[in-house]
Amino acid sequence: MDDTALNLDPTAQQSEQQAIIEGLLSKARAAQAQFSNASQEQTDTAVTALAWSLYKPENAKALAELAVEDTGLGNVQDKITKNTRKTFGTLRDLSRVKSVGIIEKLPELGLVKYAKPVGVVAAVTPSTNPAATPVNKAMMAIKGRNAIIIAPSPAGLRTTTRAVELMRQQLAKVGAPENLVQVLPAPVNKAATNALVRSCDLSVVTGSQNNVKSAYSSGKPAIGVGVGNVSVIIDSSADLDDAAVKICQSKTFDNSTSCSSENSLVILDDVYDDAIAALKRAGGYLANHEEKQLIENSLWQDGKLNRHLIAKDANIFATHVGLGGESQSKRFFMVEETGVGDNYKFSDEKLALVLTVYRAKDFSHAKQLVSDILDYKGRGHSCGIHTHNLDHARELAEELDVVRVLVNQAHTFGNGGGFNTGLPFTLSMGCGTWGGNSISENLNYKHFLNITHLVTTIAEDKPSEEQMFGDFWQHYGK
C-alpha cells in the first residue's frame, strides 16, 4: 500500500490543508475585488439569485431531503418550509435597504454615511440547518458586496456543498463572479475551520459554542451566537387554547432543531390545570413520574444528549424511550419539573420534542423561574409570554437579561424574524454580552458592512457650563 496516498504525516496534512484554504481565499479575494464596484442594482440582482437558488421549489425540496438523509435531524416538510420562509423573508428585508454608496444623510449633523465591503467572510454553519443557514448568510454577505467561504458541519457537508453549487450556478446566470460563494471541501474538521476563520476578514459563527469561542480567539473580527434555552410563561390572562396551539406548532417544527424552540413552560398556578388540558388538546402528552425517568435515562447518555433521540419524530422518540399507549399518537411530550441546574437535566436545552413544565405560584415566581433557567443555560437569548397583560410583558423586558421577549407568539417562528413583527429574518440570533456575543440583535446585513463617515462642519453646538453643570452644582455644590 502507498503510504504517500494515505497522507499520514500530520505536517503534510496541515500543509495541504493550508494550501487549500489559501486557494479558496485567493479566489474569494479576486471575486470580491471584481464585485466591490457593483451597483446597488447589480448587488440586489445577485442577492435575489442566491435566494432563488434555495427558494426554487424543486431545490428547496431536494435540499431538505438531503439534509434529513445526511444529518438525521428534523423532517423534510418543515425543512422545506424553513428553506423557503427564511429565504423569502430575508430577501424581503434586503430588498428594502441600501448597501452601496451613500446609505444615509444627516445634514443636521453634517454627516454622510458610505457603505463599504468588509472583504472575505468565513461562515461557520450548523448541522441543524445545512442549507438555510449558508444561503441566509451568503445573501447578507453579498448584500455588502463581500465574498463568503462557508465551513459546514461535517454532518451537513453534502447538503451545504450542494447548496453552494446551486448558489454559484445562479450567480453565474446573472453575470456575478461564482467565487463570491465557496465551501470548504471534504474532509471538513475543526482544524480546517479554524484555519479558515484565521484567514478571513470577518467570521460569522452559528453552531457549537466551541466554534464561537475559537472564532473570538482567532485574532480576527468575529460574530457568534449564544445558547438557546427558551422559557415561555403562560400567564393567568392568556388565551390558553391559542397559546397551546402556538406552543405546539413552535415546539414540533422541524422536530425542535431550532435554538428558538420552547424548552420550558412556566405556568401560573391559577390556570395550570386548564393550561395542561389545552396543551393536551393541542397534541401534548404529560409523562408520569416513571415515564419522566424513562425519558431522562434515554435522552441523556454519559451526560450528553443522545444523538439517536434529538430532533426525531414523536413516534420514533416514544418508541425508543419505551413510552406506550396514548403517547404513540402525540406530537410532543411534557415532563413536570421543580428545580433548575445540573441536578435537574430537564431545565437544560433539549433539541428534542420534550417540553419541561413548571408551576409558578404567581407572576413574580414565574419571572424568577425564567431568570433562574436563563442563568443556568441560555442567558441573553430569549424568552416569551402568553398574556393579555402587557405590563407583565414589559416587566420581563425591563428585568430579564435577554435580547428578545416575544408576546403571544409561536417562538420558533417569531424569534428569527416574522412577517408580523419587526425583527429581521435571520438564522443567527445574537445574545449580547450576557451570552458571550458581540451583538445583541438578530444578525443582519448591517453586520457585513464597513461604514465611512463624511464629516462636515455645522453650527457650533457647545452648551454653557451652567447648562451642563447647573443642576449638579445646585444639589451638590462646586
As averages over each run of 10 residues, the pLDDT of the chain (478 residues) reads 41 78 97 98 98 98 98 97 98 98 98 98 96 98 98 96 98 98 94 94 91 90 94 98 98 96 98 98 98 97 93 96 92 98 96 98 98 97 98 98 98 95 95 95 97 98 97 96
Distances (CA, A) of 453 to 26, 43, 112, 198, 456: 30, 22, 6, 28, 10
CATH of 230-414, one of 3.40.140.10, 3.40.309.10, 3.40.50.720, 3.90.1150.10: 3.40.309.10
**β-bridge pairing 284-286 and 332-336:** parallel
Which residues share a beta bridge with 266?
233, 358
Between the CA of residue 367 and those of 259, 338, 400, 431, 436, what are the distances in Å? 21, 14, 8, 19, 22
- For cell 430537564, the residue is 346
The reported pLDDT for the residue numbered 151 is 97
Please tell me which residue in 248, 259, 383, 431 is annotated as part of the active site: 259
pLDDT of residue 9: 56
Q: Which helix (H) or strand (E) holds 263?
A: strand 262-268
Residue type, position 382, single letter: S
**Among 356, 43, 80, 296, residue whose Cα is nearest residue 176:** 43
pLDDT score for 16:
81
Cβ neighbors of 108 (< 8 A, separation 6 or more) are 458
The angle, 0 to 180 degrees and rounded to 10, between the axes of the packed helices 289-299 and 314-321 is 100
Give the pLDDT confidence score for residue 7 in this predicted structure: 42
Fold (topology level) of 22-225: Aldehyde Dehydrogenase; Chain A, domain 1 (3.40.605)
Mark whether 383 is an active-site residue: no
Q: What end-to-end distance do the CA atoms of the chain give, in Å?
A: 87
Q: Where exactly does CATH 3.40.605.10 map onto the chain?
A: 22-225
What is the model's pLDDT at position 168? 98
Which cell goes with 253?
417544527
Question: What confidence score (pLDDT) does residue 18 get?
Answer: 85
Cell of 11: 505536517
Report residue 243 as a C-alpha cell: 397559546
- Altogether, the residues listed in the chain come to a count of 478
Cα distances (angstroms) measured from residue 341 to each of 369, 399, 431: 11, 21, 20
Q: What is the pLDDT of residue 451?
A: 98
Name the segment(s) of the chain with CATH classification 3.40.309.10: 230-414
How many Cα atoms sit within 13 Å of 3 on the Cβ side?
4
Query: Quick one: how far is CA 37 from the chain centroid?
Result: 31
Q: What pLDDT was estimated at residue 17?
A: 83
> What's residue 15's pLDDT?
77
